[in-house]
């Protein structure tokens, strides 16, 4: 194999330049040496939406989009979904290895004892209208926690970071459940530390007047699997937001709020809610061909299909599809599942989608499961944000430890006006030019 070097010839000057190739990349800064004149700024790369730009080095999640591979810290997602609890996977994603028995016991105890919210949070939530979107409430409440824990701004202290990480992972389900209860006008339910992470979440969502909530084990395990599948996904849009905001050394509550805001978009984590609205719009299996034609005419996107990285089947969708069958054995079959299965079959055989490598992604089936469990569609992205908080925080912690990282500040190609001046006759009302 030849030398790991890229030789670039600038036809404008006839000069050649060398850029070392490391891990399949060249450093963008190595292009700045390429100038037409000595005082030039030098060559930059132009990569809108970062289609072909690595922003960091990370050891957390590995994805192979062509082979449909997803691994957390080297473990295939399928094995983690089969053999682990969500908090075990959270520990793995955050720390790089699976916990031993004593480590897991300590980790679970730590998370359980930080599930409560400061009582003033209830007053904060009461300020929202009854019909406020849960994601708006979640993003705002997470940001508000930065006022409850002002010490969180000491982001360079690893122990301080770990404390805030535990608090956020522990409190996300409580915040989510409180937004749900607020939207239904129901009293908040306090965490029950006798219950596991997802069973306690169900307790805070659905406990009524019974003395002790008992979670259906099939549904609790299904939520645990869904949370595992959503925990991290390398440099997706919301993780990029987490890293960009975190790079200014903003505290982890404000950074997580920014990441959750990015997740809420319909092209990202908001897609699961859009899938249900799309299935409602289609209405029946018989109307699928008509809808597919409208998608191919560019009128709609097929929500829950396509992915920036996966140009093959999203491995998470396969596990979620299996989980859906387990859930429907408890909740009863859902007519939307029949439409979704028929829609998937038709789309996978249609040249338009095959040519564009559009396969079901993680959002296609998750929404149907959540709906069968009794969640309203506007809660679906909240259910995505809870587990993805683990990934956002692991990526943020990795960023804070990375000696190569500094504040994110991309450049631009300026397309605006050349210098121009105010009319001389305009009176001076401010600071005279040239003082
Ligand atoms: C998530 O990045 C992550 O890792 C995200 C995520 C995570 O875990 O963090 O995996 C979670 O966000 C999953 C994606 C959820 N979003 C959706 O399901 C919304 C619908 N999907 C699309 O909007 C789209 O597929 C994206 C946003 C997911 C990816 O878009 P890209 O990579 O920018 O691709 P593109 O828009 O350039 O599309 C390429 C072509 C275009 O057609 P042409 O212009 O070439 O004719 O495919 C078409 C697009 O119009 N296309 C679709 C389509 N997605 C892409 N056409 C119809 N329906 C779709 N869903």
Work out the mean pLDDT of the chain and round it to a whole number: 95
Q: How remote is the CA of residue 232 from the centroid of ligand 1, in Å?
A: 18
- Asked if 357 contacts 312 with a C-beta cutoff of 8 angstroms, the reply is yes
- 217-236: pLDDT as tens digits: 999 999 999 999 999 999 99
The residue whose CA is least distant from atom 33 of ligand 1 is: 308
Whether pLDDT at 202 is above 80: yes
At 308, list the tokens. Answer: 């920036």
Cβ partners under 8 Å of residue 408, min gap 6: 55, 243, 244, 247, 248
- Around ligand 1, the residues with Cβ closer than 6 Å are 233, 236-237, 267-269, 271, 295, 301-309, 356, 358, 361-363
Whether pLDDT at 306 is above 80: yes
Whether pLDDT at 1 is above 80: no
Q: How remote is the CA of residue 362 from the centroid of ligand 1, in Å?
A: 12
- 203 confidence band (pLDDT: 50, 70, 90): very high
- 430 confidence band (pLDDT: 50, 70, 90): confident
The residue whose CA is least distant from atom 8 of ligand 1 is: 233
Q: How far apart are CA 435 and CA 429, in angstroms?
A: 14
The residue whose CA is least distant from atom 35 of ligand 1 is: 308
- Asked if 264 contacts 135 with a C-beta cutoff of 8 angstroms, the reply is yes
Q: How far apart are CA 266 and CA 303, in angstroms?
A: 9
Q: How far apart are CA 173 and CA 282, in angstroms?
A: 32
The pLDDT value recorded for residue 419 is 96
Count CB-CB contacts under 10 A for residue 278. Answer: 24
- With CA atoms as reference, report the closest residue to 176 among 201, 209, 140: 201
At 20, list the tokens. Answer: 């070392």
Whether pLDDT at 313 is above 90: no
- 333 confidence band (pLDDT: 50, 70, 90): confident
- 234-266: pLDDT as tens digits: 999 999 999 999 999 999 999 999 999 999 999
Pocket test for ligand 1, best of 64, 303, 307 (most atoms within 8 A of CB): 307
Range 200-210 average pLDDT: 97
Atom of ligand 1 nearest to the CA of 236: 2
Range 353-368 average pLDDT: 89
Q: Over pLDDT 90: what percentage of the chain?
A: 85
Q: How remote is the CA of residue 356 from the centroid of ligand 1, in Å?
A: 10
- Asked if 228 contacts 240 with a C-beta cutoff of 8 angstroms, the reply is no
The residue whose CA is least distant from atom 7 of ligand 1 is: 233
- 344-356: pLDDT as tens digits: 998 889 999 999 9
Classified as helix, coil or strand, 232 is coil
Ramachandran angles phi, psi of 115, nearest 5°? -80, -20
At 391, list the tokens. Answer: 């990934």
Atom of ligand 1 nearest to the CA of 295: 57
Q: How remote is the CA of residue 110 from the centroid of ligand 1, in Å?
A: 38
Q: Alpha helix (H) ranges present in 24-157?
A: 77-83, 86-95, 101-112, 120-126, 134-148
Residues tagged active-site: 268, 307, 363
- 150-176: pLDDT as tens digits: 999 999 999 999 999 999 999 999 999
- 342 confidence band (pLDDT: 50, 70, 90): very high
Specify the pairing of strand 61-64 against strand 69-72.
antiparallel
Query: What does the angle CA 355 – CA 361 – CA 366 come to, to the nearest 5 degrees?
Result: 150
Q: How far apart are CA 377 and CA 276, in angstroms?
A: 7
Least confident of 113-127, 135-149, 356-370: 356-370
Q: How remote is the CA of residue 304 from the centroid of ligand 1, in Å?
A: 8
What is the DSSP track for 294-352? HHHTTSS--TTB--SS-SS--HHHHHHHHHHHHHHHHH---HHHHHHHHHHHHHHT-HH
The residue whose CA is least distant from atom 19 of ligand 1 is: 267
Pocket test for ligand 1, best of 276, 306, 343 (most atoms within 8 A of CB): 306
- 60-100: pLDDT as tens digits: 999 998 899 999 999 999 999 999 999 999 999 999 999 99
């Amino acid at each position: 194999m030849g030398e790991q070097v890229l030789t670039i010839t600038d036809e404008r000057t006839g000069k050649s330049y060398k850029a070392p190739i490391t891990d399949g990349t060249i450093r963008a800064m190595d292009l700045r040496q390429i100038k037409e004149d000595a005082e030039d700024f030098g060559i930059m790369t132009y990569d809108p939406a970062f289609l072909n730009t690595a922003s960091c080095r990370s050891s957390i999640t590995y994805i192979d989009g062509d082979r449909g591979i997803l691994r957390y810290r080297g473990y295939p997602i399928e094995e983690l979904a089969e053999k682990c609890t969500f908090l075990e996977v959270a520990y793995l994603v955050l720390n790089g290895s699976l916990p031993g028995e004593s480590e897991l016991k300590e980790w679970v105890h730590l998370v359980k004892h930080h599930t409560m919210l400061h009582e003033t949070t209830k007053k904060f939530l009461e300020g929202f209208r009854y019909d406020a979107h849960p994601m708006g409430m979640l993003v705002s409440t997470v940001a508000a926690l930065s006022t409850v824990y002002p010490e969180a701004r000491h982001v360079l202290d690893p122990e301080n970071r770990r404390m805030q990480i535990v608090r956020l992972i522990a409190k996300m389900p409580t915040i989510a459940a409180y937004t749900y209860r607020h939207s239904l006008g129901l009293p908040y339910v306090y965490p029950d530390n006798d219950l596991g992470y997802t069973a306690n979440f169900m307790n805070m969502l659905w406990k009524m007047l019974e003395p002790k909530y008992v979670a259906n084990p099939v549904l609790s395990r299904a939520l645990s699997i869904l949370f595992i599948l959503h925990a991290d996904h390398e440099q997706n849009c919301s993780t990029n937001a987490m890293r960009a905001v975190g790079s200014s050394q903003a505290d982890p509550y404000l950074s997580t709020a920014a990441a959750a805001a990015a997740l809420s978009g319909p092209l990202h984590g908001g897609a699961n809610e859009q899938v249900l609205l799309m299935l409602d719009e289609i209405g029946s299996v018989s109307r699928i061909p008509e809808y597919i034609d409208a998608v191919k005419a560019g009128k709609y996107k097929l929500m829950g299909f396509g992915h920036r990285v996966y140009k093959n089947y999203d491995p998470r969708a396969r596990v979620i599809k299996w989980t859906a069958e387990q859930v429907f054995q408890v909740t009863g079959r859902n007519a939307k599942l029949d439409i979704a299965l028929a829609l998937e079959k038709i789309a996978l055989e249609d040249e338009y989608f095959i040519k564009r490598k559009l396969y079901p992604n993680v959002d296609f089936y998750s929404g149907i499961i959540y709906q069968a469990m009794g969640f309203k569609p506007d809660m679906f992205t909240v259910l995505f944000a809870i587990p993805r908080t683990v990934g956002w925080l692991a990526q943020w912690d990795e960023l804070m430890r990375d000696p190569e990282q500094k504040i994110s500040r991309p450049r631009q190609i300026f397309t605006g006006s050349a210098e121009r001046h105010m009319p001389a006759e305009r009176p001076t009302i401010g600071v005279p030019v040239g003082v």
